[in-house]
Structure 1
Amino acid sequence: MKQMIIASTSTIHGSGYLNYLLEELTFFFKDVDTILFIPYARPGGISHDAYTKKAQEAFSEIGKKVKGIHEFTNPKEALNTAQGIFVGGGNTFVLVNQLYKNNLISTLQEVIFKGTPYLGTSAGSNICGLTINTTNDMPIVYPPSFKTLALVPFNINPHYLDPDPSSKHMGETRETRIQEFHAFNSQPVVGLREGSWLKVNGENIVLKGELDARIFEYNKAPYEVETGTDLSGLK
């Protein structure tokens, strides 16, 4: 049975890395000693080692060890034997390209469906949807496919931002970009605001955190859902 936390971000304003989630993660990873970290998204081009160290420092606060998947000679075996998995944020295209390069997409799907606890933040959340076509990232590399894990029956837009009426920026809003996506695609999109996450237990999907989420469905007006809302029927 799937056990997942799909979070908009790893860091909220004024807080340390994963700090706002640590209480939740203490219970989520309660039966886990060592978490397998996938640092492929490399925010700002950071090295795999440096990114893993950042995750290690955060999880040490709740007594968990972290080991990077890049430290294993056989990444598939690392996934199959992992007690828990964390995929961090960064560039979604870089992350997906590396997952395909190492032939890990199907293995990652399999271990999550079997019940290995999975935490994703930002890019690590993007890959939980049907495709990564609603990411905010620049396509700096070209992965073999935009299809990813399909662990929830919709797409996700982490870091969702509402239009700022006082802004002088005349470019597209997130809502406009998602409307453009729906000109060519029909699956729903969940706009996750900073500090919000989806808690997945089996087929049950519930919005968590202090903020509402914005839902976009094909040929429908966007609408808000409150934290605590069950999104299992969103397809």
Structure 2
Amino acid sequence: MRNCIIASTSTLHGGGYLDYLMADLKLHFAGCQSILFIPFARPSGITHDEYTLKVAQAFAKIDIEVRGIHEFENPKKVIQDAKGIFTGGGNTFLLVSQLYKFDLMHLLSETVKKGTPYLGTSAGSNICGLSMQTTNDMPIIYPPSFQTLGIVPFNLNPHYLDPIEGSTHMGETRETRIKEFHAFNAIPVLGLREGSWLEVKGDVVALKGDLKARLFLQNQEPVELESGSDLSSLK
């Protein structure tokens, strides 16, 4: 039975790390004295220890201990034994390459699908889809596969940004990039705006947060989904 929070971001403008989610995380990880953190995405190139400390300081607010997966000699066993798991944001290419390097992708997928409470933010949310091909990140390292956890049967684009009216920026918008993906792939893509997340409970997938999400389907016009929408049938 899946039990996940799949969030667009860890931090909202003007807030502290995970602050906007903390009340929900207290419920989500209820009964967990400790959780396992996967710091492989390394935002801004910070070390695993630095990243884990940042997360530990945040979870200390709800009296939950955090240990980084890099601290253990047997990462497979620690995933299997974890009471809760959090994969943080950063670079999705690096995160995916590390999960494959240590042969953890399939095990992590199976563990989460069996019901271990999971939190993903940004890159840690990207990997909850069928593939990482709709990430926003630079390909700083080459993973052996783009296939990811498949916790939800579609792809995600965290940090989704709408085109800015009147902007003179000549680069591609997020919508343009997703259309490029759909020129070769039929997988639905959900654009998650900052402050939005998916709550996955068993067979139910619901959009949470104050903002709408933008759903992209191949050869169709994008659709705006209201907060509270049920995405359980999306595939």
Query: Is TM (by shorter chain) over 0.5?
Result: yes
Q: 1:44-71, CA deviations, whole angstroms, 9 ceiling, x for partnerless residues?
A: 0000000000000000011110000000
Cα displacement (A) at 1:167: 1.9
Separation (CA, whole Å) in 2 of partners of 1:100 and 1:155: 19
Secondary structure of the residue aligned to 1:9 is: coil
Separation (CA, whole Å) in 2 of partners of 1:113 and 1:222: 29
Instruction: Give the aligned partner of residue 169 of structure 1.
Output: 169
Pairs within 5 Å for 1:1-235: 1-235=1-235
Q: 1:122-154, CA deviations, whole angstroms, 9 ceiling, x for partnerless residues?
A: 000000000000000000000000001111010
Cα displacement (A) at 1:166: 2.9
Q: Which amino acid aligns with 2:106?
A: S
Separation (CA, whole Å) in 1 of partners of 2:114 and 2:74: 20
Cα displacement (A) at 1:83: 0.3
Q: 1:171-213, CA deviations, whole angstroms, 9 ceiling, x for partnerless residues?
A: 1000000000000000100000000000001121000000000
Cα displacement (A) at 1:110: 1.4
Q: State the TM-score, normalizing by the size of structure 1.
A: 0.99
Cα displacement (A) at 1:90: 0.0
Secondary structure of the residue aligned to 1:17 is: coil
Q: Which amino acid aligns with 2:217?
A: E
Q: State the TM-score, normalizing by the size of structure 2.
A: 0.99
Which consecutive segments of 4 or more residues in structure 1 shift more than 4 A? Answer: none
Secondary structure of the residue aligned to 1:140 is: coil
Separation (CA, whole Å) in 2 of partners of 1:227 and 1:18: 19
Q: Which amino acid aligns with 1:219?
A: N
Cα displacement (A) at 1:15: 0.4
Superposition RMSD on alpha carbons, in Å? Answer: 0.5
Q: Which amino acid aligns with 2:223?
A: Y
Secondary structure of the residue aligned to 2:35 is: strand
Q: Which amino acid aligns with 2:161?
A: L
Gaps of 5+ in 1: none
Q: Percent identity?
A: 64
Secondary structure of the residue aligned to 1:26 is: helix
